[in-house]
Amino acid sequence: MKRIKINGVIIPNDYQEIYDWIGWDATSPKKVSEQIEDGKDLIIEINSGGGSVFAGSEIYTMLKNHNGNVTVQIVGLAASAASVIAMAGDKVQMSPTAQIMIHNATMDTYGDYREKQHSSEMLKNINRSIINAYKLKSGMTDDELQEMMDKETWFTAQRALQHKLIDEIMFQNEYQPAA
């Protein structure tokens, strides 16, 4: 089984060399793609605050298209674009100490009212797109998910399991009460 770490900021391919040179954790679609072996089962270990929704979407799609089994393990944080990537797992596990965060897409804009209106529509479309990943995993409705994204919702492992964003909490079966 091949283990791939998704740490740091989710970035476009063109930024990876710069982040690597500086020594900052970052994950690009190309970095993930280079580690995937065709047909081999994968463990995707996530600890990321997110980043580019489009790079995250590319990684999500790459993992969903993979012809081996994909197990996602959220070991620290899967926020924003990283939470979208987490939804790609055939099985999603979460450390009892980890968190998932979902929220509306954001961006900076410059311009007059027309540019701001255009940006608003673009952000609404991005939200509808990323809702699809959460909905496919959890079965929740668009309205339920949009409401959670509007509130910037944080999930403990237990809450994520209740909302079916994950399949199991890691180490849960390891507890052995003493007699």
pLDDT digit string (tens) for 25-75? 999 999 999 999 888 999 999 999 999 999 999 999 999 999 999 999 999
Please report which helix (H) or strand (E) contains residue 123, including its range: helix 113-138
Extract the residue ranges of the chain whose pLDDT is less than 50. none
Cα distances (angstroms) measured from residue 21 to each of 24, 32, 63: 8, 18, 26
Rounded distance between C-alpha atoms, residue 81 and residue 178, angstroms: 41
Burial 74-92 (b: 16+ CB within 10 A, else e): bbbbbbbbbbbbbbbbeeb
pLDDT confidence of residue 39: 87
Structure tokens at 26: 């970052």
Strand residue runs (E) in the chain: 2-10, 26-27, 42-51, 70-79, 91-94, 99-102, 153-155, 168-169
Under 8 Å between Cβ of 4 and 83: no
For 42, counting Cβ atoms within 10 Å of its Cβ (0-12 exposed, 13-18 middle, 19+ buried), the class is: buried
Rounded distance between C-alpha atoms, residue 175 and residue 169, angstroms: 12
The residue whose two tokens read 């620290």 is: 76
Q: What is the largest CA-CA distance in the chain?
A: 70
**Mean pLDDT, the chain, whole residue set:** 96
> Which residue numbers are catalytic?
80, 103
pLDDT confidence of residue 92: 98
pLDDT confidence of residue 30: 97
pLDDT confidence of residue 179: 58
132 Ramachandran zone, left/alpha/beta (phi>0; psi -120 to 50): alpha
Cα distances (angstroms) measured from residue 4 to each of 1, 32, 116: 10, 7, 38
Rounded distance between C-alpha atoms, residue 27 and residue 35, angstroms: 12
pLDDT confidence of residue 178: 60
Asked whether the whole model's pTM tops 0.75, one would answer yes
